[in-house]
Amino acid sequence: MNNFTFFNNTRIIFGEGQIAALREQIPAQARVLIVYGGGSIKNNGIFTQVTQALEGVTWFEFGGIEANPHLETCLEAVSLARAEQVDFLLAVGGGSVIDATKFIAAAVAHQGDPWEIIASFGAAVQGALPIGCVLTLAATGSEMNPTSVITRASSKDKLFFNSDYVRPQFSILDPRTTYSLPARQVANGVVDSMVHVLEQYVTYPVNARVQDRFAEGLLSTIIEEGPKALSEPTNYEVRANLMWSATMALNGLLSTGVPGDWASHLIGQELTALYGLDHGQTLAIMMPAIWTYKLQQKQEKLVQYGRRVWHIEDTQPEQVALKAIEQTRQFFERMGVATRLSAYGLDERVIAEVVAKLKEHQFVQLGEHGDITPQDVVNILQLAL
Amino acid sequence: MNNFTFFNNTRIIFGEGQIAALREQIPAQARVLIVYGGGSIKNNGIFTQVTQALEGVTWFEFGGIEANPHLETCLEAVSLARAEQVDFLLAVGGGSVIDATKFIAAAVAHQGDPWEIIASFGAAVQGALPIGCVLTLAATGSEMNPTSVITRASSKDKLFFNSDYVRPQFSILDPRTTYSLPARQVANGVVDSMVHVLEQYVTYPVNARVQDRFAEGLLSTIIEEGPKALSEPTNYEVRANLMWSATMALNGLLSTGVPGDWASHLIGQELTALYGLDHGQTLAIMMPAIWTYKLQQKQEKLVQYGRRVWHIEDTQPEQVALKAIEQTRQFFERMGVATRLSAYGLDERVIAEVVAKLKEHQFVQLGEHGDITPQDVVNILQLAL
């Protein structure tokens, strides 16, 4: 096990009816900006629950945060927050809304060009407005971590930043808020949370037994419950188990003392920024391709994963590893998320563009060994066609 | 899954050499009281590492905290802390030292009789000195939770209190600090951390899949690594896995959304207070007896535990449950911790005394259903003879 520091001070308030707890979490004299997405919360009753809980508090609203939130949209919210002297941000939505809210929180407090926040990967953040969340999609884990991913649409740059200043003070997780999601978002969320676990688990062994067992526990849960979320969308227990899995998948716990891969995310981000694929779709494409390309390096953990999570009983390690990759691909497909570039109308012409963007972003040493070069990405993308 | 709130803001700094990080965790102008136990830290180099890291900081020391720390001893430390105008407490030791430090932190800030802190189960705590920990024993989880257990020796009362005010700001976990522990303490620590998991897991099912899988992962790790800590005391990986397991076993994560039992702890506390048994010894006695007595109520989770953790393949559920109890008992015995009252020279004469103390403390509705009455405790203790 490697040395590590673990710190996470987000308060999680979990369960049905918990949106009412907003009342105790936000100061009565606060000036709150409610940040949300395409407006579904106004149709499904969540907005009403939120504003009822905020009775007596001064609030403003900013809707229209898109998936893979745009810098350009966030800057409009920054202007509003400044004009209204907002001092608390409440994200009501999924990972995109929360990520946007984190950027807005940092940008309101930032002097100079707000893009510096992202270009510095968060190092330029010296403060932020406090943030609370009402989560409505089990997927990114943003509700309990210090990370935000923002897209500058004008230049097709999708990049992340980290800062403890933007870690949510609290997040309310009511599984019922996810009942009315479209199947595509549910499926993407299942793939996303599963890949978060896998990025921190299918690397190389460091004898970190708790972290491995926790990862396997989350994977088993997601695999058991994910398909049920599609077939039984209003099954509370299913939604609750998936919601808690997604939060635990990326709240810092699994990464303690172990290497991380993250190549699927970094290559996938370019696919989203360039071609508009959903985040979950890019992960479903990239992870099997990277694993296939890195089979030897990853074999030991792939075998552990195959045996413990997929119960593959083959005695040949390489066969177990290959079957684990295939089972993962089939699971993504079963969730309705295609795992080949060609399924999204993309072909080998994308390869040069993706690699050029990775170089521009200086992502030229990817993976847990930092040994995936741009040429390797070319080979990996060929496996992903 | 039941509704829950989860919050834990202790910073964990884990790994070899991390005691040096104390420097960044304690304000330079602080007046620090170092609290420790029987003095082994002065022989094994830990005290030197701590004071080197505190170079330039004003510090005082209070040694002599006993196992199951006494109110009377803690009050001496409170006097010293007040006299020296200490404003930061640094616990260097295991759970007893940390628990004592939590009480001292609250008592320094408390007006009136300090026993009120305990008699109110922590409700009387309105503030506390900040606390940091250097953990030297994998066992109680006190390094990352708001709980403290204190014994008033004069009246043989061993009771706990909870307060967010006494949650450690940080805890440094260097597995090397545990290399020189006596086997008895190591074994007790393994039993204690395992029972912490089991108290939150062997209850009744609420379809909390993540929590169950996490519990099973910790149990598997403790069962795999516990015996190695006795046979290979300087195996870093073993010590690291046990240390992280013990912390995760009682930091609030496993209890999210699930019922808790805690009858073994509450009855066991009386055994320690009355007869001086080690905490781990009392748990090893009580848990198999309670499970045997509550076999029907607990059968479903015992079967899950038996199948997933002990890989018992019997098809008869009751047989699986009985074998799971037996495997647990054998594991405790294999660790060198006897599981019968008679092994510690106790007989049926203790039953009335234990029950009287439980009644005095108003612990008359124990277990996850609150249905273990004093008469049930009589029956359970008979099974534990």
| Model pLDDT for residues A174-212, shown as the tens digit of each residue | 999 999 999 999 999 999 999 999 999 999 999 999 999
Percent of chain B at pLDDT > 90 equals 99
pLDDT of residue A69: 97
Work out the average pLDDT over B325-344.
98
**Digit-coded pLDDT (tens) for B347-385:** 999 999 999 999 999 999 999 999 999 999 999 999 999
B226 pLDDT tier (thresholds 50, 70, 90)? very high
Phi, psi (rounded to 5 degrees) for A201 = -125, -45
Mean pLDDT score of chain B: 97
| B16–A5 C-beta distance less than 8 A | no
Looking at the partner chain, which of A11, A209, A240 has a beta carbon nearest the beta carbon of B221? Answer: A209
Burial A240-272 (b: 16+ CB within 10 A, else e): bbbbbbbbbbbbbbbbbbbbebbbbbbbbbbbb
Report, as ranges of residue numbers, the positions in chain A whose pLDDT lies below 70.
none
Residue A65: partners with Cβ closer than 8 Å, 6 or more residues away: A35, A36, A37, A73, A74, A77, A93, A96, A97, A100
Q: Nearest to residue B219, comparing CAs of B186, B184, B254?
A: B254
Least CA distance to A5: which residue of chain B? Answer: B13
For residue range A297-343, what is the model confidence (pLDDT) as tens digits? 999 999 999 999 999 999 999 999 999 999 999 999 999 999 999 99
The CA distance from A251 to A120, in Å, is 22
**Cβ separation A3–B18 shorter than 8 A:** yes
Nearest-CB residue to A248 (from B1, B16, B210): B210
What pLDDT shows up at residue B236? Answer: 98
Q: Which domains does chain A have, with CATH numbers?
A: 11-177 (3.40.50.1970), 183-383 (1.20.1090.10)
Cα of B5 to nearest chain A Cα, Å:
4
Q: Which H/E stretch holds residue B79?
A: helix B71-83
Closest chain A CA to residue B174 = A3
pLDDT-derived band of residue B223, with 50, 70 and 90 as boundaries?
very high
User: Which residues of A fall within a CB distance of 8 Å from B207?
Assistant: 237, 241
Q: Measured between alpha carbons, how far is A278 from A276 in angstroms, rounded to an integer?
A: 6
CA distance A240 to A234: 11
B5-36: b (≥16 Cβ within 10 Å) or e: ebebebbbbbbeebbebbeebbeeebebbbbb
Contact status, residue A198 vs residue A183, Cβ threshold 8 Å: no
List the Cα angle B3/A331/A234 in 5-degree steps: 35
Strands of the sheet with B4-6, listed across from one edge: A58-62, A31-35, A88-93, A131-135, A170-173, A11-14, B4-6
Task: Please list the residues that pair with A162 across neighbouring strands.
Answer: A147
* C-alpha Rg value of chain B to the nearest Å: 20
- CB-CB neighbors (< 8 A) of B4 in chain A: 12, 14-15
Q: How far is CA A181 from the centre of its chain?
A: 17
**Region B66-83: what's the mean pLDDT?**
97
- Residue A358: its pLDDT value, please? 98
**Residue A241 and residue B217: Cβ atoms within 8 Å?**
no
Chain B residue numbers with beta carbons less than 8 Å from the beta carbon of A248 are 210
Question: What pLDDT, in 10s, does the model give residues B268-310?
Answer: 999 999 999 999 999 999 999 999 999 999 999 999 999 999 9
Q: Is B5 on the interface with A (CB under 8 A)?
A: yes
Q: Compare all CA atoms of chain B with the CA of A10 and give the residue at the minimum distance.
A: B7
Which alpha helices (DSSP H) does chain A contain, by range? Answer: 22-25, 40-43, 46-53, 71-83, 95-108, 115-119, 183-199, 209-231, 236-249, 263-275, 279-293, 295-308, 317-334, 349-360, 374-383
Distance CA B91, CA B132 (A): 6
Q: What is residue A203's DSSP assignment?
A: S
Cα B289 to Cα A297, B241, B283, B284, B381: the distances in Å are 48, 29, 10, 9, 7
The torsion defined by the Cα of B240, B242, B248 and B251, in degrees rounded to 10, comes to -100
The distance of Cα A270 from the centroid of its chain, to the nearest Å, equals 15
- Supply the pTM of this predicted model: 0.98
Measured between alpha carbons, how far is A362 from A284 in angstroms, rounded to an integer?
A: 23
Structure tokens at B35: 């609290």
